Amino acid sequence: MNLVILGAQWGDEGKGKIVDLLSAEYEVVVRYQGGSNAGHTVMVNGQKFILHLLPTGILHTHTVGVIAQGMVVDLELLVEEIKQIESKGISVRDRLLISDRAHLVLPYHKTLDALLEKRGKIGTTLRGIGPAYMLKYARKGARVCDLWDKDRFYSIIKDNLEFVEELCKKVYCEDFQMKVDEVVDRALESFEEIKHCITDTSSYLLNTKKSILFEGAQGTLLDVDIGTYPYVTSSNSSALGLSAGTGLPPKFFSNAKFIGVSKAYATRVGEGPFPTELKDEVGQLLREKGKEYGATTGRPRRCGWLDLVALKHAVDLNGLDGIVLTKLDVLDGFGEIKVCTAYRVEDKVFKNFPASLSLLEKAQPVYECFEGWKESTYGITNYKDIPEKAMNYIQFIERFLGAPIVMLSTSPERDKYIWLSEIIHGRKVASSDIC
């Protein structure tokens, strides 16, 4: 049975570790949207790996890694990332497949990202992601397959650079100069390093008999269609992106299991509405205890209480079969823990996640309060060690969401987790045993 792992909040939920852990049981691991804006951190034997473009599951040497068509790929960074992992003794290029339909991120996309940020701040990662998707949908993008035909590639880049130059001059009153030959040569240099990995990945995925794990990047609330638009990323980072991003028919996923990853509290980086954000010392404490600094940009993350209105939105629209809850230990020692169950805007109460930015910006969280626990949950691996008060918190979340919490991740290390419920395959513990 195939498995889909998605971020259920604003990204940075700890998907890296979960994918790394679960991909031990899968043969193919796939990334299908976003690009180097992602930063999946994994600790293996005390060694820290941060993956931006490669599927995290590639750290297991038995897997085939796929970069599918919905991604936007910065080839220079990809080659760098591959070489870094290979330098640690893990082979990559002999088991990596890169879609010939994926779009490229090139230096001018990053220039444009910075310029767009000057005009209306989203707080992007400045990795050129938005502009790469922008030119893709404007039907001007350069794809991986174009690199096979140098003349064609050259003319796409020439056209792109003329377009960007004009945009910079006329809209932003900024000078822009980038040489076609330089952009082309740099891209071709990287292409030489990975060209034997390029293939029709949809066809591979459709025909393989191997078990597949699909790795979502970012999170549902950053999805361009169902997230906090316009403060989102430029791809479908929810389950909505699976079919287009992999090039597989929707019914391919009808038997897959869908798992969402959520922290026991909430964070977001960049701008945009965040109803449960704590701008006080409690938020500061969450940031320090949770080491909430971006893996890609190093920016401090905004922190707040768990928002169940937003999480329920993610459960419903992704069709989640279960949730993996991460970083519960960050809440250890808090006297009181709050969780948002509705939003109040003036005299109206909202139980559903609103589309309107005006509503989201005004939304005041309605909280349910829980007594905290004193015991440490850091690194525990036995469900009997979960404090009763922590279990009350977990069970409240499950009841509210109507979806089980299937696993707790209790530290960044690969082996520190607890299965709570059997939904993927072969897990021994049922949540009913725990009550």
- The residues binding ligand IMP (CB under 6 A) are 10-12, 37-39, 122-125, 127, 129-130, 217-218, 222, 233-234, 269-270
Q: Between 99 and 220, name the residue whose CB sits nearer to ligand IMP.
A: 220
Q: How many whole angstroms separate alpha carbon 82 and alpha carbon 374?
A: 43
Q: Which residue is nearest to ligand IMP (CB)?
A: 270
Q: Which residues participate in catalysis according to the annotation?
A: 12, 40
- Least CB distance to ligand IMP at residue 122 (A): 5
Q: C-alpha angle 82/88/89, rounded to 5°?
A: 95
List phi, psi (to 5°) of 48: -100, 130
CB of 59 to ligand IMP, least distance (A): 18
Considering the complex, state which of residue 147 and residue 286 has its C-beta at the smaller distance from ligand IMP.
Answer: 286
Residues in contact with 46: Cβ distance below 8 Å, sequence separation at least 6, in sequence order: none
Which DSSP symbol is given to 327? Answer: -
Non-local CB neighbours of 141 within 8 Å, separated by 6+ positions = 103, 104, 132, 135, 156
Nearest to 252 by CA among 264, 262, 244: 244
Closest to ligand IMP by CB, 235 or 341:
235
Closest CB to ligand IMP among residues 64, 314: 314
Residue closer to ligand IMP by CB (options 10, 204) is 10
CB of 339 to ligand IMP, least distance (A): 21
* Best CA proximity match to 52, nearest among 41, 63, 68: 41
Residues whose CB is less than 8 angstroms from the CB of residue 126 and which lie 6 or more positions away in sequence, other chains included: 110, 113, 114, 117, 297
Minimum CB distance to ligand IMP, residue 349 (Å)? 28
Q: How far is the CB of 102 from ligand IMP (least distance, A)?
A: 16
Evaluate whether 13 touches 326 at the Cβ level (below 8 Å).
yes
**1 C-beta neighbours (distance < 10 Å), count:** 10
